Structure formats: structure tokens, C-alpha cells
Structure 1
Amino acid sequence: MQPHLIVTDLDNTLLNAEHDLDELTIETFQALAAEGHHLALASGRHFHDITAFRRRLGVPAYILSTNGAHLYAPDDSLIAEQWVPAELVRALVELPRDADIRLNLYTGDEWLIDASAPELKALHAHTGFHYRVADLEAHDGNGVGKVLCIGDPVALASLEQSINEALGTRVHVTYSMAHSLEIMAEGVNKGATLERLLTHLELPATRCLAFGDNLNDAEMLALAGHGFIVENAHPELVRRVPDAARIGHHHPYGVAWQLREFFALT
């Protein structure tokens, strides 16, 4: 079989219910790499967060981090990146929001948060990458790939409306989970970065498999020649990408089983 590109989201897609990798998934990725296929991990997570999973997989893989704001080669060399303009970061930080919403900034090296949020630590327990509490009001807005707001979905919906009214199309707004509102630069999403990666690899979209579960995966799934939505996906994602195939639940092994079937792995 000709080389394909396999690109997958992490949380609630490739990872299990404990936000970790299982042995079947690791074995599957190693088998695909041995057959000469290209692999990529695409997530809203920070680059340093994702590299921990790549090490566990034990394969060379491209990384589309921060919802596509940064694209890295398997050797960690930077292929492309796009920051949120500093003035827009400042505008987002200064925008009124519910007191219980946690404001986060993803910089080149750090995950900054405006106050401690112990409930987030379980999500990153298997990577060792954690936030640092900082005065985000004092941040100059430079070198930020993503502004992340974490909180109650109703409060986030109100904030999303305020962002749309204030900034319009100058930013790209999406959700990675019901409680995670993600804001990147205009035109930044996993699909746009996947298109850049396909060009880099000189592969057509017809030889790309993509897997996802939430709204920040929509553009990526729509671009791939073979888009797969896990059973536990956000219902709106199914409506946005109606041509994507439905597969099993992410826990256990939904992505791994589909890959083994597609590539006839024994």
C-alpha cells in the first residue's frame, strides 16, 4: 500500500478514559510506522504536552499543536507557526468574563493560567506538563499561540458571543471540550495546518486518514480523504462533517481498531 498520513486528535479520541495511551494503540502506531506510513498528532494541547505521548508511542510523528498554531517535524524542527496578534491577545485578556472562568495563555514554552485549577491536573498527569500561575493582565500579548478559557459551558457561550462581537473574524474561535473555549489567530485551525503538512509531504488528501471527536477537529476531518468520528463525539461535529464515517468509542481502542481494519494489520 502507498504511504498514507494518519493524523489524530488526542483527548477523547486516541487517548483512553484516563487520558493515556493503551498498549494496542502503541502497537498499532509502531506497526504503521514500520510499514512506512506518516503519523501526526493534532491537539489543542501544548507542544511540550504532546511530545510526551509521542515518546510513549515510540514512533516518528509530526505534531500539530495548539489547534494548528504550530507544526513540528518528527525531529522537533519547526515547519510553520502563527501567533495571535499581541493586540488581540490583550483585547481578549481585558474582555469582561465570569469570575469562575479560568484564563490561559499558551506561549512558545509555557502554559500560563490566571489562578490555580487543580481539577486540570488529571488531564495532564501522564505527561508531566503543567500550568504556571501568572498575572496575565500584565502580559504584553507577544508570543501567544492560543488563548484558552475554561469554565461553565453557559458562561463560555456568553463569552464567545462577546468575543465575536468585539473581534469578529480576526480570531478563530472553537471548542475542544464543552468547558474549553479556544481562541487562535484568524485562519488557524487543525485543517489549515493539515493542508500545509500534506503539501510538505507531497501527499494528496485522498491518502490521509483523520480522527476526531470535537468541534476543533471539524476542518481537519472535512479535509481528509478518510475522516473518522468516534462514537463519543460532540453531536454538532457529526452535523458539521456529515461525510465522515462513524467508528467505535474512543475507550477502548476505537482509533486503533479502525486503523488495524483499514490497513489490514494482523
Structure 2
Amino acid sequence: MELIKNRVTQKMILKEKIKVVITDLDGTLLNSDHKISDYTKTIFKELHKKNYLLIVATGRHHLDAQAIVATLDCPVYLVTSNGARIHSPDNELLFSVDMKSELVKAIFDLEIDAEITSVLFKEDKWQTNHNNDALNSFSKESKYLPEIVNFESLEDFSAIKIFFTHDDHQKLVELKDKILHTYSDLFCHAFSLPFCLEFMDKSVNKSVAIEKILQLEKYAFEESISFGDGFNDEEMLKSAGKGLLMGNAPQSLIDTLPHLEQILSNDNDGVATYLSQQLLTN
């Protein structure tokens, strides 16, 4: 009986405290088919009706993410490219930062293994050295399309974000160490997935971008609940008043954030189920 009372009390405290809902996309709000379920859409519409501020923070490009978030059919702030872009619910660009061409080129001059798929996020397209079917599957219906290029002859390396993907995680770890050995002061990095290594401008971070939105809307991180499954979500999860790890998060992230509660996986509507139980039901 005492345990039930404690759970009810904790739920009441959470409901009174939380005013902002923050979520990652891939591996979190999206299922393995890279879709938002109908159940999740219903829950987010209900959250909007109850005046919760909704923020989606993703590593995806804004052209890609905007099409996905639009299916929620409710106003959502959008943080993309791990914080390099912020768009309002009306798709107005509020903040942007890019990586300088000469700095990105310096990374590509380090002789990257030709087996690794390299990608530059440009404003209207992504440039890559390989046609990668696994990568393409993340954006089947997107208008943000790839362009195959030869990085050895490319002249303009300016980018919103760069990332590298390979099935062998250790290859990416070795590349990360190689880049950071020389350029640790110029870039920040994260493994959004074990097979996806991302580099951004040193100032870019999901948590930093979200803080800008919270200040604009006159909220504090302590009033937020956040959901994520990757290392690019780490600071966001630690900053939120309540951070929650997806059941499908990698063990390495779980070990890094052992104090955080785990919820159901993305394929089991973990985010929507938790929000429904904790914020929308009495």
C-alpha cells in the first residue's frame, strides 16, 4: 500500500512540475520503420491541447525532420543537426550555425578509410561518397536527397554537419580518435547510433539549442521531460528535469547514465505510453 502511495505522489509531483516535452526522433519517437505511430500522434495532440510545450531534437537535417514532424499535426519546435538549426512551429528559422569549409576539409585530408560512408549536410542536399542503402532507408519519403561526390576534388566543404557511417563500430572509434587527436578544440562529436559518428561545430549541442527555446518561451530545463536513445542525447537527458532512456538504447549509454529510468522501446511506443500514463491520466 505504501509503495502505491509513493508512486501516486511521485506522479502528482511530476505532473505539477513538467511543462515541456522534449524528444529525439530516430530510435525514440520513430519506430524501426522510421515512422511515428498513430498512437503517438494521438498522445502528442492531447499534450498540445493541455498546453505542453513540445520540442523535437534530432540529428536529422531540418528538411528531412520537418516532413516527419508535420505528421504530428500539432505545433512543435524543431532542433535539427544536433543543434545547428532551430525552427519555430511555423518553420521560421530562429538559429543557425555552420562549419567552415577549410575546417571540414582538414578532416577529409586525414585520409579516411574508403570503406566508410562520409556525408556532408548541406542546406538543400547531402553529399556523400557512397550510395548507402541502409542510410537511404532512414529517409525514404524525404525531399532531402543525396548527391554522390568525389571528396578529393570537391571545392566547397562548408556544411551544417558531417557524419560517417560503417557497420564496424571500431572503425568509427578509430576515426573519431584520429580526428580528435588533431582537432579536439574545433569540433564536438557524438555517436547518434553505434554505426553513425557525427561532427559539428564546437558550439553545437542539442542541449544548448533547447535552452534557447526554453528562454524564448520563459521555461526552465527543470520543467522539462526528455527522451532519447543516443549519445547525441546525453546532455539533453542530463539537463532535463526528468530524463528517460529508451529500452532500445545501447548498453554503453545506459552505463553512462545509470541513474536514468528506462522505458519501453521505440517499437513499443515507449515515449507515448510513458507520457500517457504519467502526464495525461489521473
Normalised by the size of structure 1, how large is the TM-score?
0.94
Contact 1:46 1:111 in 2 (8 A): no
Please say if 1:223 is aligned against 2:227. Answer: no
Aligned length: 265
Shift of 1:126: 4.2
Residue ranges of structure 2 left out of the alignment (5+ in a row): 1-15
Q: CA deviation at 1:234?
A: 1.6
- The 1-side partners of 2:21 and 2:151 are apart by 37
Distance 2:157 2:143 in 1: 26
Match of 1:54 in 2: 69
Q: Which residues in structure 2 correspond to 1:17-36 (within 5 Å)? A: 17-36=32-51
Find the partner of 1:42 among 30, 48, 57. 57
- Give 1:10 shift: 0.8
The match for 1:94 is 109
Q: Which segment drifts farther, 125-134 or 84-93?
A: 125-134
Q: Cα gap change, 1:195/1:81 in structure 2, threshold over 3 Å: closer, same or farther? A: same
Instruction: Please state if 1:232 is matched with 2:248.
Output: yes
2:208 is matched with: 192
Contact 2:164 2:196 in 1 (8 A): yes
**Sequence identity, in percent?**
29
Which residue is equivalent to 2:262? 246
Query: Which one-letter code corresponds to 1:63 in the other structure?
Result: L
* TM-score w.r.t. length of structure 2: 0.89
Matches of 2:162 and 2:83 in 1, distance apart? 13
What's the CA shift string for 1:214-259, capped at 9, x where partnerless? Answer: 1110011011111010111122222333332211111121000011
Q: Distance in 2 between matches of 1:260 and 1:20?
A: 19
- Alpha-carbon deviations, 1:129-181, whole Å to 9, x = none? 33222233413223x11011111212111111110111012100111111110
Match for residue 171 of structure 1?
Answer: 187
Q: Distance in 2 between matches of 1:95 and 1:103?
A: 13
SS of structure 2 residue aligned to 1:16: coil
Between Structure 1 and Structure 2, whose CA radius of gyration is higher? 2
How many angstroms does 1:118 deviate by?
2.2
For residues 21-64 of structure 1, give each alpha carbon's deviation from its aligned partner in whole angstroms, at most 9, with x where no partner exists: 11110000111111111111111111011111111110111111
Alignment of 1:74-153 (within 5 A): 74-137=89-152, 138-142=154-158, 144-151=159-166, 152-153=168-169
- Structure 1 residues 169, 234: closer, same or farther in 2, change over 3 A? farther
